[in-house]
Amino acid sequence: MAELRLKVNGKTETVEADPSTHLLWVLREKLGLTGPKYSCGIARCGACMVHVDGKTVPSCNTPVSEVMDGEITTIEGLSRDGEHPVQKAWIEEQVPQCGYCQSGQIMRAAELLATNPNPSREEIFEHMERVVCRCATYYRVVKAINRAAKEGGS
């Protein structure tokens, strides 16, 4: 165990953890940030996606030691009031069904729009393929990303 300092959602946090602990468990168990979900544990489903320096990373298999110098943002930190254009578009387009993948989907979509403010349908599908939606709401995801893009979604 070591005392680790992380910058999470704009705040510096200090936690006691083994540096090899996966980021997901530090976020959920040490910091109480339950937006990123555990699902596959092998970085294949995307439910655990968070931003590190603006890029999505699967927190389920990323050792916390690899991100200690980065700015970590979870779904809880994307927008304090739920007013991020992607979050608003998600509601307007009624994307969620079970909701399990939603934080990963939204984090991935926010990254896409930050780097490509007007993506094509193909670019959306290609970028979003790293997040599995077991309810298959993919077409609503595309509609929501298009809506967010039109409304200035980054």
The residue extents of the domains of the chain are: 2-77, 85-151
Handedness of CA 48, 51, 55, 57 (dihedral sign): negative
- pLDDT at residue number 153: 61
Task: Output the pTM of the full model.
Answer: 0.94
Q: Where are the alpha helices (DSSP H) in 1-154?
A: 23-25, 75-78, 85-92, 102-115, 121-128, 138-150
The per-residue pLDDT for range 143-152, each reduced to its tens digit, is: 999 999 998 7
Q: What is the CATH number of domain 85-151?
A: 1.10.150.120
Q: How far apart are the C-alpha atoms of 146 and 67, rounded to whole Å? A: 31
Q: Which residues of the chain are under the pLDDT cut of 50?
A: none
Q: How far apart are the C-alpha atoms of 99 and 101, rounded to whole Å? A: 6
CATH superfamily of 2-77: Beta-grasp domain (3.10.20.30)
- pLDDT at residue number 86: 97
- pLDDT at residue number 80: 85
